[in-house]
Structure 1
């Protein structure tokens, strides 16, 4: 599919304007509108009704040539049905392949005839590892229901942390930009000046509480998104590596003046237990004895839980990692742990 709107006479435009116009024309076919359909009972009857969830919907973009769509998890959260509208205004049902609420990423499969899927245009992937503050960026979305709108700005900051609201989890290494992002932009692409995907627009700083752009928008970096999407396509979910330990509240270490992550418990049979890691124990008099405090992993310092999770996010299940621990408060040891898989909790 392509944007068939003919380009006007570009001779009167500056080279920079021509570049921006072309970027929008080339990338709009990659962007889709997503409608989250929820079920609700009628106010005056017991009939089940299907209604759009969210006033302005959301966006996603074509990931590959098989009809997979990447978007934010919060765009499709609670959906009983999802519909995807393409650049030619055709609308198709979509199946949720999987998602990760803690990272706010989800993958859909457009359920359309093969000839439609064959004409979908996948977005061009870029990289987020080499981004610089001041770099020009572009956002495509449908703010306030306005179809396929382009906004531009610069990267205002890098390595931001954003609370997702799911069990206290945070998104780390988030991109901050000043391109106007409003309700309806969620799940849409953030592009660099060459039209390459560098992030998913996911949130705005809204001190007014009215859902309006404040000039501070956030996007999940593509280097994070890519690994999550690949896992969802392969396993139907995100496979996250773990040490297999229970972490003690950080207040305990603060009182001792030690930086690191205090191991509260090491259940038998876990990767950490097999490597010989120790948790807190009690002696015959009921007094607690500190076991291991994680102070480093793979040669990187671990001062907080966030440091530990950042390093684990860059690892895979089955990787062998070196863990530096401070045992009993004064013994330094290095353990080798083969990471296991976090077993997802099953709701009863």
Structure 2
């Protein structure tokens, strides 16, 4: 009987709870279903907030918008494919291999991009800003500068080329604008300033790319090959690389300056390769470091002079090598056009600023005395 009494008591409490819930449901519907409540008409009527007038855009905003709208059509999106072979069937097929950016160089359909964007690809597709796709052919490339020239079919109605600027007169602190396709997100604009000039960076092929522009404008994978513009919308460089442990922008991007482009690209179009200007001398970085340290001078030791070369005609002298293999330097290059030269790489960089056939002034150390010599640059190997 005590168990029956406990059960009856629980049943009564359960019944009272159900009755209480039903009364709440019918008498206070707003607690359970405010949308269907008869009291919903008494809720506050809410309308969208009034939009505050913005007023005019700031002048720098207007100029940035205008720059992007004027430049966007000159930038292209590049996708590449690579041929692979199925090891079982021996069938050959192509697979996507990468994306990058580029820009229109001239009315003939030449497209400029980075060499590493198309490296290893068997085909490249260029997409214009209006959505048209064209298969491109490779015209020429310069691994030393990470520059490649593509071309899309003749007779195509193309947007205007990017207006050309200059890079020799750039200043740290100038505003810059990068347009590209980071991570495949087409036609993206990023802004920043020139952070430094005359930077060096190892390329993917182990070469050192010299005289780069450093910028904090965000440059990410896919931006490579796109243009770097000044505040007038002129081309001042081609976005080449980023410095980042994570692979994404960390505020340090690098661009090949437009003066280099304007020197290299015409040769790539006309010859398919870039022929560097040269003196006709033999130098060696490791040996130079050891010799200059022993002598106690800063410069580049000329090891030998090619007979009949530009250096030979100018009277430059190579080192004397004794029978026991010891080297006695004769001429040591210490500057080129009044710009100091402290390594082989720096000498080659200084020479690369000029064209074959131009005359440059070299300052030498010979027998402890400085002397100036004029040399007409010859084609390099």
Q: TM-score range by the shorter chain?
A: 0.7 to 0.9
Aligned partner of 2:336 in structure 1 is 297
**1:82-161 matched pairs, under 5 angstroms:** 82-112=124-154, 114=155, 116=156, 118-161=157-200
Aligned partner of 1:207 in structure 2 is 245
TM-superposition CA deviations, 1:47-81 (whole Å, max 9, x none): 11112222xx0010011111111111111222222
- The TM-score with structure 1 as length reference comes to 0.86
Aligned partner of 1:169 in structure 2 is 208
Cα offset, 1:197, TM superposition: 1.3
User: What SS does structure 1 have at the residue aligned with 2:303?
Assistant: strand
Report how many aligned residue pairs link the two structures.
326
Cα offset, 1:131, TM superposition: 2.1
Moved over 4 A (4+): 9-12, 284-287
**1:35-74 matched pairs, under 5 angstroms:** 35-54=79-98, 57-74=99-116
TM-superposition CA deviations, 1:295-338 (whole Å, max 9, x none): 233344333224322321122212233333223x4354444332
Residue of 354, 359, 362 corresponding to 1:323:
362
Aligned partner of 2:48 in structure 1 is none
Gaps in structure 1 of 5+ consecutive residues: 1-8, 344-348
Q: Larger Rg: 1 or 2? A: 2
Does 1:247 pair with 2:291?
Answer: no
**Between Structure 1 and Structure 2, which shows a larger proportion of helix residues?**
2
Distance 1:194 1:336, change over 3 A: closer
CA distance in 1, matches of 2:204, 2:308: 32
Cα offset, 1:17, TM superposition: 2.2
Does 1:235 pair with 2:271?
Answer: yes
Aligned partner of 1:5 in structure 2 is none
Residue of 223, 241, 244 corresponding to 2:259:
223
- The TM-score with structure 2 as length reference comes to 0.79
Distance 1:151 1:336, change over 3 A: closer
User: What SS does structure 2 have at the residue aligned with 1:29?
Assistant: helix
Cα RMSD for the two superposed structures: 2.2
Does 1:16 pair with 2:60?
Answer: yes
CA distance in 1, matches of 2:309, 2:205: 25
CA distance in 2, matches of 1:284, 1:87: 67
Gaps in structure 2 of 5+ consecutive residues: 1-52
